[in-house]
Each structure stands twice: as C-alpha cells, then as structure tokens.
Structure 1
Amino acid sequence: MSNLDRQAVPAVCGGRGFVVAEPVRELLSPRRVQLGESTEVRRLLPNLGRRMVGAWCFVDHYGPDDIADEPGMQVPPHPHMGLQTVSWLKEGEVLHRDSTGSLQTIHPGELGLMTSGRAISHSEESPRPHARLLHGAQLWVALPDAHRHTDPHFEHHADLPTVTAPGLRATLILGGLDGARSPGTAYTPIVGADLELSRGADVRLPLDPDFEYAVLSMSGEAHVDGVPVLPGSMLYLGCGRTELPLRADADASVMLLGGEPFEEELIMFWNWIGRSQQEIEQARRDWMDGTRFGEVKGYDGAPLPAPELPALPLKSRRRVR
C-alpha cells in the first residue's frame, strides 16, 4: 500500500536537529486516508508533529476490514524511488507485482520487502479469492544517499526470527533486537518488530539508547511505559532508553519501530524520496513518460497518474513541523 492521495503535498524530513535526545511519551494521532473504494488507512507518519523515527518515514495502519464481499486492496501500478517498502500483515493476504518481474503473495507473519533504489514500480491487490479479513501495516524506510541509487529488488522472507519472554513473542521484521536479526536487507541501523503480548504480560524489552523509538498499536490495548496505546495510534518514545516496560491486561499486538536518527535531510513527495526539487520533477516526468520505472505486468488496470507538483518550491527542512 502506498500514498494514493491525489492532493499530495511535499513532506520535508530528516536531520538530527529535532531528534528528542531523552525518553519521552508523545502520543501521535492518525490521519484517516481513503485508498480506493474499500480500504481506509490510518496514517501515522509523516505526522504534523513528527516526520521520522530513525529511517522509518511512512507508516499506514489498516483494518481489520471485512472484505468478504469486497474487492479488498486494489492499488494500481505506481512508482517509488529512494526508499524501501515493508509489507506486514496480521490477517489476510496481499499479492505483490513489480517491474523487476516479482510476483509474490504475502501472508501474515511474512516479510515483503521491496527496495526501490533508483526506480521501481509495483502494484498490490487482494488475490481472488481472498480471506474475509484484511489487517496490517505498510511502512517505508528512507534509503541513505550511499544506497539510494542501488538496483531495485524484492525480498520475501517467510521464516523470521523471534525473541520470547513470559507473555511476549517478538518477531523481527527488520534489523536486530536482543541478539536476533531479521534476514531482510537493511541499509541503516534500524529495528522493526511485531510484539504479541498475552493477557497479564508485564515485561521489559531491551533497547539501544542510541536509537529513537516509537510503538504502533495494532490490536488490543497495551500499556507502553505506563501509557495506554489504542489500535491505530502511535507512541513516540525518543532516545536514551535501555529498556521499555510493556504491560497488557488482555491480548494485544504492537509494532516496535526504531533506529539511529536519520542524518540526511529529505524531500518526500507522493511515492518518491529525493534530495532536491529537480530530482522530484525528473521522477514525475519519467513516470508520466513511461520511462525509468519499468512496467508492472499482469495487473488488470491502468497505472496511477502522478499528482501535480505544488507551485511553491520544494525544500528539505526539519524532522518535525
């Protein structure tokens, strides 16, 4: 799932100047965005109050939606550059196609990781037939300058490592946590993990004090460092933590997102991440001309046209507004 907003506006992010260097508890509310006819997402990043968490720069939470009599997810071919997309499902399945020729159905607990590098295009759809419920998260990771022009590629990892403790099962999606490491390719120091908390869980998760962190609630009600976090909201935690207290009075599921603060300043417009207005303008021309981003074969529908660029110049600025 990607940014299909036809009224897209540039987001400026990156740089260490506004990273919170000490532990905080900053609750972020989502913005509701309609994608297609049957899918609504809760967008947590970029947020009016915060643009990035480590290299994580885009977070959508969707579902659980009953799509038994609906087409479900239907995202036509669209382009990306300068980022990785992370597909994570709790329920349902998503069929991924891209311009490198990848064709993969992603199921709950499996990592779908697409590295756009210099240019890629892809589509995402609920297969036919599909499960009754659809629930998951779509996230982007900004690529650092040294790797943002790499060759595009797609990875699918069905067997991911786990970390367990009484009342906790953590699945490593990206990066490392407590000695476990995901097989997904990461280009910055980062962590993404799915945390399943069972009723009565009361644990402390080890963290890296050099990372900044946030917790996205997927289901149930978890208490994160004493703060109740409800599904579709995200708690920003800042840096300087060596552990994170987690408690659940009933079964709950959250995602831990973190990483070293991203030093580079970025411009994010629609589905592209660049460093200058000229890069974004060229990407738009290339997509509309049908060059550079390749072709997604097999999708039954036309590619998405890019939104118009704003009249004002695009400039990279700070991590928070």
Structure 2
Amino acid sequence: MSVTDPHPEELLLSPDAPHCADGARVEIITSRPVPLGGPRAMTVNRTLPQKQRSLIGAWCFLDHYGPDDVSATGGMDVAPHPHTGLQTVSWLFEGTITHHDSADNHAVVRPGEVNLMTAGAGICHSEVTTQATTTLHGVQLWTALPDADRHGPRRFDHYAPEPVLLDGARALVFLGSLLGSTSPVETFTPMVGAEIRLEPGASLSMDVDPTFEHGLLVDTGDIDLEGTPVAPTELAYTGVGETLLRIRNNGSTEARLLLIGGEPFGEEIIMWWNFIGRTYDEIEQYRTEWQDQGERFGITEGYIGRDPAGLTWLPAPELPNASMRPRRNPAPIARPEKRI
C-alpha cells in the first residue's frame, strides 16, 4: 500500500529508548482517519506512525481499513508506486487484492494469508481490489529494515499459518513466535505478528518475549488489555519487560485483534512518502530516481486499474522546503497518561 497523502509529513525516528520495564501498564494510541486515493477514496485508520509513538519494534506503519463497501468507495486501487528500506506486510480479514511488483511477483492476497514484500534497495508494486470483492477489510503494515540489510535484494514471501486453537480463542501467527506457533517467514529484526479471535466472554493469557514491546490493535469486540479498555481502531501499547499479556472479551460477539511486537528498533530512520532512508539526501535521491523512472525501482507489469483513465504510476509529491527534524520515539515503556 502506498502513502498517497499529497503533502506527506517527514519523520526522523530514533530509539531514545533504554531497556526498562515498569509493570503491566497500557498506553492507548488512537487512530486518525486518512483517505487512501482520490475523490471516492477509501478511508483508513492510521495508528502508526504518530507523534505519540512512531515505532513498535521495527513496525513503523499500520493502516487499518474496513469493512469497506467496495461498490460505494471503489475499494483499493493503488497504481505502481515505490518503496525503499522496508518490508510491506499485507493481512486481510475479508476480500481479496491483486499484487504485482517489479521483482515479477504476482499474487492474490487472501484473508488469513500473509504477503510480505521486501523492498531492499528499491521496488515498486501495485495493489487493486479484485472484481469479486464486495467488502474489503484488513490491515497494511510496514517494518523498517536495519541498515545492514536495507540495500539488499527484493523479495516476496507468502505464508498461510495453521490456526492455534485455545480455550475460547483462536490465533494465526504469521510472523515470529507466539502461543507455541512459529512462522517460517524471515524477518530482519526479531518481531511477532498474529491475528487473535476471542469468543464472547473469553479471556486469553499469553506468554510474551520480555525483550519485545507490543501493540494490540482492536478490530472488533469489547476488549480490555490488562484491565484497560481498548476500543475498536485503537492500538494498546505495552513496553519491554512484560512476560504475560492478559486480554478479555467483555462483549456478546466474537472479538478480532491484531498483535504486533518486536525488539526496540535501535536506529534512526527517516520516513517520507513511501521511502525509508537515513538522511534527507537519500530521500531526495530516491524521489529523483522514481520521478525519472530509474533502474532502482524497476517496472511493475500486470497492473490494471479500476479506472481506465486513471494513473499508470504514482508520481511523488514535492519534498518539503523545511529541513527534517528528529522525532524521538519514547522509551519502550507504556505511558497510560499519554492517551490522546
């Protein structure tokens, strides 16, 4: 998925985060609506990045969308666009999306199956809702690549995890390890990603890696984490040092959640539009190469937009005139008082 904001904000993200823990505290990160596309845009709820907290482990971007009536909004139609220095992680709850990229990977993204695209030094791709989709519902995430790996080759991974069945709960672990299940998909920093469903009135206690910070996104359900209510579209954050997370569904319908986590990312990064780099000069170079349709990003073949008169590729916005300033990520400790 692309950031299609006409004036994307520039972010310099840094760790500023000593290893520490301060009990089972929960910080709530609220989402902000962002239109994805043109006049009939589908609205997504963005929880990462935010001024409040920019990274959870290497997870640096989280868009939550739907359930979206494709007949009303047109669904997702993102023409070929570039990425550098990151991995895109696509996870659907409902509907299907076609994926084409410049590494000649062509796939259909389906519910319950993770599709992970590694941009490395540069890639471009397109994403379009399939004709058969009437409702689109899911999440799009990015993870930042560490400096040692960000200039590497393009890659695409697909994995359909087997469900972990528990008393009153069901989990699909698509990255990392959780609840006795381990994903074979390679990541470049230690992390975890899982969809969790809780039956009405059910509780789940999960052993978690104490070196990880975690985020729990609520899609549906009347949920509390460690006794703190978490509303749909909100992301509940817990810092490092925790060994157990307790979730409860207080509602009368099934709840669906997304758990992400990882070791605090110990590098400064700049995010602007669809690029992750380390300096303003790098971002400027990426933009120039994309505008010039340079070799770095290659060519995406197979894109068929829903609008015959639509763009065949997404041009980059203008760079800001102001210099990029550091945005320090808080220490990996939950701050309940920071709920905004």
Gaps of 5+ in 2: 305-310, 332-340
Asked whether the equivalents of residues 16 and 262 of structure 1 are also in contact (C-alpha less than 8 Å), the reply is no
Q: Distance in 2 between matches of 1:188 and 1:180?
A: 18
Deviation at 1:18, TM superposition (A): 6.9
Q: Distance in 2 between matches of 1:320 and 1:269?
A: 20
- Matched residues, number: 319
Asked whether the equivalents of residues 276 and 315 of structure 1 are also in contact (C-alpha less than 8 Å), the reply is no
Q: 1:9-45, CA deviations, whole angstroms, 9 ceiling, x for partnerless residues?
A: 1112131437773342111111111012231000000
Asked whether the equivalents of residues 30 and 232 of structure 1 are also in contact (C-alpha less than 8 Å), the reply is yes
1:265-304 matches, within 5 Å, as 265-291=268-294, 292-300=296-304, 301-304=311-314
Over 3 Å counting, the alpha-carbon distance change for 1:21 and 1:2 in structure 2 is farther
Counterpart residue number, 2:8:
8
Deviation at 1:71, TM superposition (A): 2.7
Q: Distance in 1 between matches of 2:21 and 2:243?
A: 13
Q: In the alignment, residue 281 of structure 1 is paired with which amino acid?
A: E
Asked whether the equivalents of residues 46 and 57 of structure 1 are also in contact (C-alpha less than 8 Å), the reply is yes
Deviation at 1:70, TM superposition (A): 4.8
Deviates more, 1:91-100 or 1:18-27: 18-27
Counterpart residue number, 1:305:
315
Asked whether the equivalents of residues 81 and 119 of structure 1 are also in contact (C-alpha less than 8 Å), the reply is yes
Counterpart residue number, 1:74:
77
Gaps of 5+ in 1: none
Deviation at 1:225, TM superposition (A): 1.2
Tell me the SS of whatever aligns to 2:147: coil
Tell me the SS of whatever aligns to 2:26: strand
Q: Distance in 1 between matches of 2:2 and 2:88?
A: 9
Q: Distance in 2 between matches of 1:177 and 1:213?
A: 12
Q: Distance in 2 between matches of 1:18 and 1:52?
A: 14
Asked whether the equivalents of residues 48 and 62 of structure 2 are also in contact (C-alpha less than 8 Å), the reply is yes
Counterpart residue number, 2:145:
143
Over 3 Å counting, the alpha-carbon distance change for 1:247 and 1:11 in structure 2 is same
Q: What TM-score, normalized to structure 2?
A: 0.90
Tell me the SS of whatever aligns to 1:24: coil
| Percent identity (aligned) | 45
Q: What TM-score, normalized to structure 1?
A: 0.95
Q: Distance in 2 between matches of 1:3 and 1:180?
A: 32
Deviates more, 1:281-290 or 1:212-221: 212-221
Asked whether the equivalents of residues 12 and 319 of structure 1 are also in contact (C-alpha less than 8 Å), the reply is no
Cα RMSD for the two superposed structures = 1.6
Q: In the alignment, residue 313 of structure 2 is paired with which amino acid?
A: P
Deviation at 1:185, TM superposition (A): 1.6
Is it true that 1:197 corresponds to 2:201 in the alignment?
no
Asked whether the equivalents of residues 94 and 138 of structure 2 are also in contact (C-alpha less than 8 Å), the reply is yes
Over 3 Å counting, the alpha-carbon distance change for 1:183 and 1:68 in structure 2 is farther
Q: Distance in 1 between matches of 2:15 and 2:28?
A: 21
Q: Distance in 1 between matches of 2:289 and 2:20?
A: 38
Counterpart residue number, 1:167:
168
Asked whether the equivalents of residues 19 and 238 of structure 1 are also in contact (C-alpha less than 8 Å), the reply is no
Is it true that 1:109 corresponds to 2:119 in the alignment?
no
Query: Structure 1 runs of 4+ off > 4 angstroms?
Result: none
